[in-house]
């Protein structure tokens, strides 16, 4: 995966980074096949953000998602790929994501807890997001569907203009 921690190179694929007109698009993936399809379809100049399903930090686990993102990114080494784990309102899932090496973690719980978690996460070289980035959910994705291949290519392709 591309290094999406603080101090990453200019043009980082980190969600929310100011890369005018060239921000990495995000896709919600539910399995390795979807992640690999997204990696294959992504534009090298933009990179890719692999976002877990909402709350996946609770039911799928940080280790699983980190391994999925690493495996998908390995299919196309020149592509900047970052992973974002959605931990819902569970502080423990955020900490597990930090231990698994995921640099961007979504936490939607109470603001007071988020403030404390943000400090811990920042110390670990990661970032706490209060909302998931805008994304295309691949829950219904079928690799043999021309419709889905076109939709994925349009979402991940070069920015318009």
Q: Which residue has the tokens 């919600």?
A: 28
pLDDT on residue 161: 59
Residues pairing with 26 in the sheet: 49, 135
Distance of CA 7 to the CA centre of its chain: 18
DSSP structure class, residue 105: E
Map out the domains of the chain with their CATH numbers: 26-156 (3.20.20.70)
Tens digit of each residue's pLDDT, the chain (161 residues): 433 333 332 233 445 443 434 589 999 999 999 999 999 999 999 999 999 999 999 999 999 999 999 999 999 999 999 999 999 999 999 999 999 999 999 999 999 999 999 999 999 999 999 999 999 999 988 877 888 888 998 999 877 65
Instruction: Order across the sheet with 26-29: list the strands.
Output: 127-129, 104-106, 81-86, 48-52, 26-29, 135-137
What pLDDT is stored for residue 10 in this prediction?
A: 27
Helix residue ranges, H only, the chain: 32-41, 56-59, 62-74, 91-99, 111-123, 146-156
User: What is the pTM assigned to this prediction?
Assistant: 0.85
pLDDT of residue 30: 95
Residue 79's pLDDT is what?
95
CA–CA dist 61, 64 (Å, integer)? 6
């Amino acid at each position: 995966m591309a290094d999406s921690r603080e101090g990453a190179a200019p043009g980082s694929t980190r969600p929310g980074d100011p890369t005018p007109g060239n921000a990495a698009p995000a896709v919600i993936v539910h399995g390795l096949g979807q992640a690999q399809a997204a990696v294959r379809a992504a534009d090298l100049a933009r990179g890719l953000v692999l976002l877990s399903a909402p709350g996946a930090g609770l039911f799928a686990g940080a280790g699983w998602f980190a391994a999925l993102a690493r495996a998908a990114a390995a299919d196309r080494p020149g592509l900047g790929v970052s992973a974002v784990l959605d931990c819902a309102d569970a502080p423990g899932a955020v900490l597990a994501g930090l231990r698994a090496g995921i640099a961007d973690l979504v936490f939607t719980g109470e603001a007071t807890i988020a403030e404390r978690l943000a400090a811990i996460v920042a110390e670990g070289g990661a970032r706490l997001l209060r909302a998931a980035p805008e994304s295309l959910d691949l829950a219904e994705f079928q690799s043999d569907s021309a419709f889905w291949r076109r939709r994925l290519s349009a979402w991940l392709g070069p920015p318009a203009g």
